[in-house]
Amino acid sequence: MKKETASLVDEAAQSTTALGPLVGLAREDFVGAVALLLRETAGNPVRTMRHAQTLGKDMVQILTGKSGLAPDPKDKRFKDPAWQYNPFLRAGAQYYLAVQKGMKNWLEELELDAIERDRANFITQIIIDSIAPTNTLIGNPTAQKRLIDSGGLSLIKGLKNAYNDIVYNKGMVSQVDKRPFKLGENVATSKGHVVHRTPMMELIQYAPTTDEVHEIPQLTIPPQINKMYINDLSPEKSIVKWQVDNGIQTFVISWKNPSKDEGHWDMADYVGACREAIDVICKITGAKKVNVSGGCSGGQTTAMLASKMAADGDDRLGTVTLMVCVLHPQQNDIEAGSLMTENGLKLAKTRAAKKGIIKGADLSRGFAWLRPNDLIWNYVINNYLMGEDPPAFDVLFWNADATNLSAALMGDFLTIFETLAFTKQGEVEMVDHKIDLSKVTSDVFLLGGVTDHITPWRACYRSTQLFGSKDVTFVLSQSGHMQAILNPPGNPKAKYYISKAEGHPPADVDTWLGGAEEMAGSWWPYWMAWIQQRSGNKVSAPKKLGSKAYPPMEAAPGLYVLEPA
């Protein structure tokens, strides 16, 4: 893979779509942030004029060739030598940098509270990124060279790519070349069968690859906004394969893509489906307990399931593994958190309820515009200006395979965020019980990602204090979000951090970090050893999947993953 393509893939893979409070952003939140800037501009015309004069002086220096403005050496947009040696391009870059500097200095003088300042900085950065000269052919020397070297073919290919995105990708620039991937052939290839299907979910049991298996099975609850095969992308980075190769009886839920008529599906329905899956697993395997894992919003669903089972006195829950999952959010956890307002959340809920669902394409579009440099302009340059195909990468293929989100479930997730439901012991009612994680005594394994800006690891760490469990383990993986999870053995650069201190993890995250040790390699073997110790004795592996009551149906990954959004 070329260096430029590898960089593009890495940046996008760190920003995979995730279900969180950002789904509650309303357009009024963006309008309000812009209105804040306009208000400050009009409210102090003297200050505005002073900064305009400073910008004018910078422009004069640029015109006379006396400007010392230069791009940050780390800014890859201006790495082409032409930005340094071509006087016209150098001036163009300096104009852009002068605007960037002027905006930064102006914002620093505004009298804003912390949230307003974050909001202003976030919106202005989006605006500044959008006007970068590199986003246009006339302002991108690398694209111009490609145009000349290719005899104009790069422009023709770029126009074709743009046309295809308008017609076939709902106007959004493509992040991935989907053509090389086909489910069941080179993606999601682990052997297994659907053993139970309901209108909401399919339960997939995967075939054992060892002669003996641990008696306590493992159930994975995926996010409702993404499809389940992230757990089985390829043999090299398949969590499913890792589990069955280590003697774990593996089951995974595959959620149905909800239609408008199914927009009433709420958290209670999804938790009920998870409990039904546990019922089926126990009947198929004869196990009395089931270990459960979930990532991102699937982790929140897992936590709600654990709370509900504890409230009902259902002791079938074994261990709980939560990956890149925030149960105790704070508004400043993420860059765009400052945009969220109480009124915006209400508007988002109301609009979603009228539509029944939030379409997967709309979620992806909104998410991309929150990180436009990584998820939009990079691809505009690559696909349209350079005439290159987007990269063919399995994580991005999975991320582009969007699913819809039921309005009722979105409302419940936003309620959890607004009320901090998981942090309250018996104060917030949902899923027919008062949420109380302090009653959950299962052993808990938590995972965060060092560079995760979607579910920041410090926010993930707060979950260590919520459960009533005596045994809570927190592991910090390198990379961000999905890449933190998909970090299998074999990567020579892989590492993770654990604390070997005895007792419950401390409340202060910096105290934990001070006592953490860096470990070379993937965190998967460490987690597997943890799971195996809590998965009971070994028994002979089943010769057939399912049972007489639950006979195997379609081969994995099932039918529901084939439904488009």
Strand 472-477 versus strand 444-449 pairing type: parallel
Q: Are 154 and 147 contacting, i.e. CB atoms less than 8 angstroms apart? A: yes
Residues 6+ apart with CB under 8 A from 37: 120, 123, 124
The four Cα atoms 303, 454, 20, 222 give a dihedral, to 10 degrees, of -50
Per the omega criterion (within 30 degrees of 0), is the bond before 506 cis? Answer: no
Query: Residue 481 and residue 455: Cα distance in Å, rounded?
Result: 7
Give the count of beta carbons closer than 10 Å to the beta carbon of residue 190.
Answer: 26
- Burial of residue 144 (CB within 10 Å: 0-12, 13-18, 19+) is middle
Q: Are 17 and 364 contacting, i.e. CB atoms less than 8 angstroms apart? A: yes
Residue 234: left if φ>0, alpha if ψ -120 to 50, beta else—which one? beta
3-state secondary structure of 431: coil
325 tagged catalytic:
no
* Closest listed residue to residue 85, CA positions, set 141, 135, 131, 133: 141
Query: Residue 118 and residue 526: Cα distance in Å, rounded?
Result: 38
Of 274, 296, 325, 460, the catalytic one is: 296
* Closest listed residue to residue 233, CA positions, set 175, 176, 189, 296: 189
3-state secondary structure of 430: strand
| Exposure b/e, 484-493, CB count within 10 A at least 16 = b | bbbbbeeeee
Which stretches of 407-515 are assigned E, i.e. beta strand? 429-430, 433-434, 444-449, 472-477, 495-499
Query: Residue 396 and residue 15: Cα distance in Å, rounded?
Result: 10
Residue 546: left if φ>0, alpha if ψ -120 to 50, beta else—which one? left
Q: Are 521 and 171 contacting, i.e. CB atoms less than 8 angstroms apart? A: no
Query: Residue 204 and residue 130: Cα distance in Å, rounded?
Result: 44
Query: Residue 533 and residue 536: Cα distance in Å, rounded?
Result: 7
Per the structure block, which two tokens stand in for 345?
């959340």
Positions marked catalytic: 296
